[in-house]
Structure 1
Amino acid sequence: MSPAAEIARRRTFAIISHPDAGKTTLTEKFLLYGNAIHLAGAVKDRKNQRATTSDWMELEKQRGISISSTVLQFDYTGYAVNLLDTPGHKDFSEDTYRVLTAVDAALMVIDAAKGVETQTRKLFEVCRRRGVPIFTFMNKCDRPTRNPLELLDELETVLGLQSSPVVWPLGNGPTSFRGVFDRRSRQVHLFERVPGGAFQAPVQVTSLEDPTVRAKFDDVTFAEVQEQLAMLDGAGHPFDLEAVRAGRQTPVYFGSAVNNFGIQLLLDGFLKDSVPPAPRRRALHAPGTAVEITSETVTAEDKDGIVPVEAPKFSGFIFKIQANMDPKHRDRIAFLRVCSGKFERDMTVVHSRTGKTVRLSSSHKLFGQERETVNEAWPGDVIGLVGHSEFGIGDTLTEDREIVYDEIPRFAPEVFSFISNPNPSDSKKYRAGLEQLLQEGVVQAFTARNGPPGSTLLAAVGPLQFEVVQWRLQSEYNAESRLTPTNWTIMRWLEPHPSLADTSRIVVASGVSFGTDKFDHPVIFFPNEWTMRYFAEKNPELKMHDLPLEQTRTLEP
């Protein structure tokens, strides 16, 4: 197969949702269709202690939630699928934000009884800012749901996203839901109950005018379905593939992941309409790297900073690091998104941040916690590189020294706590574990000028991230830790200013503290909104930002 054909068949996407919308269950159903697994484990099934394929971490199994994003790869009807399952809980959204830099499309799962929820809005906004095309799946249609027309209206009013239903539900709830209608093929996919109260899908494909279909519905339900479909045909937005791929329109599917309603229609439609790997924009200036980019060496076709996927030289960036996925080996995997050229095992590349050449000999195709050696990969693929303690999140690996990516965003944390080692005899294990977790980006670390001696200031989006840090320190490194909460709730980055050389002269309210991030950029911590407003009023020369300075423009819409 030619390089162009290999690239064109790649589909790399993430599934995003509010917690409990059914994201992990949908992931497992996709894997079943791809023959990647043979038994889908219910997330909350404790009877047989089964676990979902994507939730491999022991703490995930205990809590019944996704904590760490997971890469799952399989082939399906000619497509090479790279599926990135992400945490839905808001406390782990930083991991999700980083994963979204590595995908070409996103599948947004919504509970059809609840509509657009808070975390869904936040994740959608990240996708919108990055121009990631979004497909929507209205889940749990086998339960009582909101009016599907109201759900479409909410997508447009709350998210500002034009919606075009591809698959429409026939009926509502456990007693009247009978299947789905494919608006493109104009066919009805009927489903039937099986012993035990579950469903199997589909058992029959026919037209809406078929007497068999009419017999499945009472008069009220059938009339309502006809009216809804007539409204969509007459006043709904027609499907526009160009608008979908530009992120202006979302195709909408309805079904039930747990009961396999409409899942194959969703998977087939998504793979057909979503985008193949897209070109990436390289950094024209790459501060913090050992590679100097000069305008004289930039090729004519790359003057705008675009690196085409068909470029002959390999390049990619690391968007995630995970240690101890295999407890037997205590190894470390760097997840790399291939952006251009062809990856080949044992190839030598430049590590842009250090300028050193490295040999990539231990490369793997990933499936949750499992892995197998991969010898080649193409743009769109995600590969796991084992070892290489020098690699960090955001690093570029490339055959072309002029290519450096700056893809990974950072966000202002919302909770802060000092962590320390209560057992001096465990100091070596404690330091090694904490250093590894900080490299993975499980939490952020800052320096505060008035912190307890010997402690590290951790910062996160939610307090559950601190629980993960302590749990992993104990379970993976046998190191105890102690958390000391702070009263800070807000952090801002500060523009450099001469007055920051002596912060004792700056007027601040009680409880405010200065510090630095891992790049020694100045930051400031506030207990509440009032203390932040007071600081801004008394020190107008000091400019604050809720994003690092290098991101204040790149993340703007």
Structure 2
Amino acid sequence: MPHEAQIARRRSFAIISHPDAGKTTLTEKLLLYGGAVALAGSVTARKNQRATTSDWMELEKQRGISVSSTVLQFEYKDSVVNLLDTPGHKDFSEDTYRVLTAVDAAIMVVDAGKGIEAQTRKLFEVCRRRGVPIFTFMNKLDRPAREPLTLLDELETVLGIGACAINWPLGLGQQFRGVYDRRKKDVHLFERTVHGAYRAPEKVGGLDDDFVAQHTVPEALEQAKMELEMLDGAGHAYDRTKIDRGELTPVFFGSASNNFGVQMLLDGFLELAPPPEARMAADGRVIEPTAEGFSGFVFKIQANMDPRHRDRMSFVRIVSGKFERDMQVTHTRTGKLVRLANSQKLFAQDRETVNEAYAGDVVGIVGNHGFGIGDTLATDPKLKFDEIPRFAPEVFAYLHNPSTAHYKRFRDGLEQLLSEGVVQQFIQPHAGQRVPLLGAVGPLQFEVVQFRLESEYNAQSRLENAPYTVLRWVRTKDGGAIEDFDIPSGVATAQDSEERWVVFFSDQWAINYFERRNPNAELSEIPWDEVEKAKI
């Protein structure tokens, strides 16, 4: 198949939502249609239930939550799908933000009973800033839910995006009997079974079909007809250009847990979502996916996916060109030539060697310990992508090693986990003891580090909360030494992993006091070298 045709088949997307809206359940059902799993797992943490495919980490299986983003690749009809499953918990938002740099579209899952929730709003804003097209799945229609017109209105009033309903529910809660496809003018009826739900086998016509009338609740059917008339007169019309610009979201209704409307969502998404698009390089060049030269960037690093081998996998989003196993490219941050030998296609924890891939695909590279998050790999040694956002941590803690006999395990395990870039380590040069000072977006990240140290590296640890809530990168206005600062009580200085100076504060008052005592200091919420890059 020609290069351009292969790229046109690719669809790379993430699923975003507030916790418990049904994101992981929807992921499992999408994989069912892709033939990727034989039996969808339940997200609920029960001992006898099969673990969900996208939640591969032991902690995820125990807690019934997603705490790590996962790449799942499969073929469906004529498309090659790269589905990036993301954690919904706010403590793992940094991991989610990074994943959103690697996708061309997003599916936003909304609990129809609760509407737009806090984390959904935050993730939506990230997508909007990046211009990522958003598709909406109103989930849990088989439970008590808000009126569908109210849900559409909320998308506009809360998120400020137009909403175009692709299908429409026939009833809500116990009266929910299926969905009406507004484009094809036909009804998809479903009925509950022991193993889920399936579409009725008979030929199903439009809203006025006798078969539809017999298998729906009369009041709910009449209500749906009235709402559809209102949409036809006053709703947002389908507009592909506005969808691609992120100004209009196609809306699908259904129930992931009972498999209502999921196939319609998948078929509609793959038809309407954009193929891989051009990316802007750091020097202003526009890199088209059809360009001959290979390029890609590392957006995620996962340590110890295979505990038997203590491996380290770098997830690379291909931007342009064709990937071929054993190809040589330049690691543009270091200028070194590297061979991409151990390349793998991911399906959660399962792997398969990949010999070739195209723009839009995500490839896992095992080994290559010199790779870091945000690094560019390209045949052009001067090419660099600045895709990965950085966030100042908001919670801090010291991680102690309680067993000197197992120090090597503790040190090596922590080093591997820190390479994932989710938890940051800071070095305090003048501290009496070299106890790692860690920073993260949320406290649950520390729990994950401790759990993984013990379960994957057999190394125990003890956490001691640090008295700081704010971090700022610091420099002097005249190039003087940071060590000459007047450091008040309750404030501390340290260096990050790239030896850039930071200052820790307990609150805003401490920041103001520090600035009064050190008028030569400049503070920033992001590293100063990145501030300078943004000005170029």
Q: Mean Cα displacement is larger for which, 200-209 or 9-18?
A: 200-209
**Matching residue's letter, 2:366:** V
Give CA-to-partner distance per residue, 1:402-454, whole Å, 9 cap, x none: 21112111112111001122222222222111111111113112234675611
- 1:522-541 matches, within 5 Å, as 522-535=501-514
> Aligned runs of 1:83-94 on 2, under 5 Å?
83-94=83-94
Equivalents in 2 of 1:374, 1:217: separation in Å?
48
CA, structure 1 residues 12+550, in 2 after alignment: closer, same or farther (shift >3 Å)?
A: farther
What residue number does 1:521 align with? 500
Q: Hey, what does 1:178 align to over in structure 2?
A: 177
Question: Is residue 485–residue 518 contact of structure 2 (8 Å, CA) maintained in 1?
Answer: no
In structure 2, the partner of 1:67 is 67
Deviation sequence 1:118-151 (CA, Å, 0-9, x none): 1111111111111111111111111001111111
Residue 198 of structure 2 corresponds to 200
Question: 2:494, 2:324 → 1: CA distance?
Answer: 43
Q: Name structure 2 gaps, 5 residues minimum.
A: none
The yes-or-no answer on 1:334 pairing with 2:314 is yes
Q: CA RMSD in A?
A: 2.1
Matching residue of 1:57: 57
Task: Report the Cα offset of residue 555 of structure 1.
Answer: 8.9
Q: Find out whether 1:321 has 2:301 as its counterpart.
A: yes
Cα pair 1:201 1:260 within 8 Å, conserved = no
Aligned counterpart in structure 1 of residue 329 of structure 2, from 349, 361, 374: 349
Q: Deviations over 1:215-253 (max 9, x none)?
A: 344443233212211111111110111111111111111
**Matched-pair contact (CA < 8 Å) for 1:192–1:203:** no
The question of whether the paired residues in 1 share the 8 Å contact of 2:428 and 2:434 is answered with: no
1:394 aligns with 2:374: yes
Matching residue of 1:241: 240
CA distance 1:551–1:230, shift in 2 (3 Å): farther
Q: Secondary structure at the match of 2:110?
A: strand
Question: Counterpart in 2 of 1:20?
Answer: 20
Match of 1:267 in 2: 266
Equivalent in the alignment of 2:32:
32
Which deviates the most, 384-393 or 214-223?
Answer: 214-223
2:454 to 459, 471, 474: 474
Deviations 1:29-80 (CA, angstroms, capped at 9, x unpaired): 1111011111011111525241011111111100100111111111111000
Cα 1:239–1:551, aligned 2, differ >3 Å: closer, same or farther?
Answer: farther
**Partner-residue secondary structure (3-state), 1:208:** coil
Aligned to 2:481, the other structure's residue is in SS state helix
Kindly, what percent of the aligned residue pairs are identical?
Answer: 59
Aligned length: 534
Q: Secondary structure at the match of 1:425?
A: helix
For residues 72 and 235 of structure 1, do their structure 2 counterparts lie closer, same or farther at Cα, with a shift above 3 Å needed? same
Q: Distance between the aligned counterparts of 1:484 and 1:144, measured in 2? A: 44
Q: CA deviation at 1:309?
A: 1.0
CA contact (8 A) 1:499 1:506 kept: no
Contact 1:14-1:100 at 8 Å conserved across structures: yes
Residue 389 (structure 2) aligns with: 409
Secondary structure of the residue that 1:188 maps to in structure 2?
strand
Q: Give yes or no for contact 2:45–2:61 (8 Å, CA) kept in 1.
A: no
1:181 deviates by: 1.1
Cα distance in 2 between the residues matched to 1:550 and 1:225:
56
Change (3 A) 1:553 1:82: farther
Change (3 A) 1:247 1:541: farther
CA distance in 2, matches of 1:140, 1:549: 46
Aligned counterparts of 1:162 and 1:137: Cα–Cα separation in 2: 14
Secondary structure at the aligned position of 1:67 is classed as coil
* Shift of residue 100, structure 1, vs aligned partner: 0.9
Contact kept in structure 2, 1:180 and 1:254, CA below 8 Å: yes
Give the Cα–Cα distance (whole angstroms) in 1 for the partners of residues 517 and 378 of structure 2.
Answer: 48
Q: Secondary structure at the match of 1:206?
A: coil
The amino acid of 1:138's aligned partner reads: M
Which letter maps to 1:32?
L
Q: In structure 1, which of residues 455, 460, 465 is the aligned counterpart of residue 440 of structure 2?
A: 460
2:281, 2:314 → 1: CA distance? 20
* Residue aligned with 1:429, SS: helix
Q: 1:236 to 1:56 in 2, by over 3 A?
A: same
Contact 2:312 2:366 in 1 (8 A): yes
Q: Which segments of 5 or more consecutive residues in structure 1 lack a partner in the other structure?
A: 285-303
The whole-number CA distance in structure 2 between the counterparts of 1:548 and 1:203 is: 59
SS of the equivalent of 2:414 reads helix
Structure 2 CA distance for aligned equivalents of residues 502 and 5 of structure 1? 55
User: Matched residues in 2 for 1:252 and 1:519: separation?
Assistant: 44
Give, as a single letter, the amino acid of the residue that structure 2 aligns with 1:16.
Answer: I
Alpha carbons of structure 1 residues 56 and 217: separation in structure 2 relative to 1, 3 Å: same
Distance in structure 1 (CA, Å) of the matches to 2:224 and 2:534: 42
Alignment correspondent of 1:299: none
Alpha-carbon distance in 1 for matches of 2:471, 2:447: 21
Shift of 1:544: 3.2
**Structure 2 counterpart of 1:208, which letter?**
L
Alpha-carbon contact 2:134-2:246 (below 8 Å) kept: yes
1:113 aligns with 2:92: no
Deviation of 1:91 (Å): 1.0
Deviation for aligned residue 1:363: 0.8
The Cα shift of 1:386 comes to: 1.2
1:540 deviates by 6.2
